Amino acid sequence: MSGISFVKGHGTQNDFVLVPDADGALAGRLDEAAVRRLADRYAGIGADGVIRVTRTETAAEVREQADDAEWFMDYRNADGSVAEMCGNGVRVMARYLWENSLADGPVLTLATRGGARTVHAEQDGQITVEMGRAKPAATRQLAFVCTAGRTWEAVPVRVPNPHAVVFVDDLDEAGSLTTQPDLRPAAAFPDSANIEFVADRGHKHIAMRVWERGVGETRSCGTGVCAAAWAAMRRDGAGAGSRYLVDVPGGRLVVTERPDGELLLTGPAVLGLRGTVVL
């Protein structure tokens, strides 16, 4: 079987295997089993997720975004499951398109399952993504996260992936996070959720650990950082235009909420290993 090209990249050490597929020819080959093999850290390349970089017009599920976005980020978690989008992955894919002359100018719009996302190249080398508005849970039912023998009340919110944000005094309270924490009640999280444990570091400055559905604990999560910052802004009574620093094990990101509610995620994106792999 012929090999396929790949590029490895990361955003605050949330790492991805990017598979270039401009004409959509690899859509059928990159099934759940293939994604799991690529993402396996012991028997594959190793990554938190796999991004198929393809033109929007080749993907029926997002073709309505083709007028605004030439490229589609077909994102899969490490276990092969489909995700709405990935805030760190969007930046890494944008970096790939710019560095390979597949996109012009400092502003780029990408199609995702969570809607079109506009990306800006900053003068300092950072990349900012317009992540959309946070959508809190429609129900007033209380939600909880349970792990390490403890239970915390959670803030359910979509950005656009589902999240459960928990505020703790110390990030170590979450324990080893080698197994998925329980989400209760299950009805509050019909699609499961990423789980963020958040601790204060200072004025408009928080730190976070995250358990990502379909992956496990990761070094960073872009949508999770946005969910955590949004929840902290509401807790703190922060006004429009607030800017929060968010430290994750893999680095630091910045979340700004515009007056219209749009969340902006700013951080690094790095490309590294390139090669060919046989699936």
Tell me the per-residue pLDDT of 161-198, one tens digit each, with 9 for 90 and over.
999 999 999 999 999 999 999 999 988 888 999 999 99
Of the residues 39, 53, 111, 221, only one is catalytic, namely 221
User: Quick one: 4-130+268-277 is in which CATH superfamily?
Assistant: Diaminopimelate Epimerase; Chain A, domain 1 (3.10.310.10)
Is 86's pLDDT higher than 60? yes
87 is in an annotated binding site: yes
To the query of whether residue 146 is one of the catalytic residues in this protein, the response is: no
Q: Which tokens hold the place of 133?
A: 């508005």
Res 254: pLDDT: 98
- State the amino acid at position 185 in one-letter form: P
88 is in an annotated binding site: yes
Of the residues 26, 45, 86, 263, only one is catalytic, namely 86
More confident residue, 188 or 31: 31
Say yes or no: do domains 4-130+268-277 and 135-261 share a fold: yes
The pLDDT of 219-244, averaged and rounded, is: 96
77 is in an annotated binding site: yes
CA quadruple 20, 127, 61, 39: dihedral sign: positive
Specify the pTM.
0.95
Beta strands in 47-204 (DSSP E): 49-55, 71-77, 107-111, 117-121, 127-130, 135-136, 143-147, 150-158, 162-167, 182-184, 194-202
99 is in an annotated binding site: no
158 is in an annotated binding site: no
How does residue 240 score in pLDDT terms, banded at 50, 70 and 90?
confident
Mean pLDDT rounded to a whole number for the chain: 96
Res 139: pLDDT: 72
To the query of whether residue 221 is one of the catalytic residues in this protein, the response is: yes
The pLDDT of 237-258, averaged and rounded, is: 95
Neighbours of 99 (CB within 10 A): 12
213 is in an annotated binding site: yes
Q: Domain ranges in the chain?
A: 4-130+268-277, 135-261
Res 1: pLDDT: 52
Closest listed residue to residue 258, CA positions, set 118, 57, 147, 123 = 118
- Written as one string, the DSSP assignment of 36-50 is HHHH-TTTSS--SEE
State how beta strands 107-111 and 182-184 pair. Answer: unpaired
223 is in an annotated binding site: yes
110-144 confidence digits (pLDDT tens): 999 999 999 999 999 999 999 999 999 877 789 99
Q: Give CA–CA dist 36/251, Å, rounded.
A: 26
Q: Give CA–CA dist 76/98, Å, rounded.
A: 22
How does residue 279 score in pLDDT terms, banded at 50, 70 and 90?
confident
User: Quick one: 135-261 is in which CATH superfamily?
Assistant: Diaminopimelate Epimerase; Chain A, domain 1 (3.10.310.10)
In the chain, count H helices and then E strands. Answer: 3, 19
Backbone phi, psi, residue 89, to 5° = -65, -35
Are 42 and 36 in contact by the 8 Å Cβ rule? The answer is: no
100 is in an annotated binding site: no
Helix (H) or strand (E) holding 35: helix 32-39
Res 188: pLDDT: 86
CA–centroid distance for 278 within its chain? 27
Res 141: pLDDT: 84
Q: Give CA–CA dist 74/19, Å, rounded.
A: 10
Are 6 and 277 in contact by the 8 Å Cβ rule? The answer is: yes
Closest listed residue to residue 66, CA positions, set 24, 111, 120 = 111
- State the amino acid at position 119 in one-letter form: V
**Which residues on adjacent β-strands are paired with residue 216?**
212
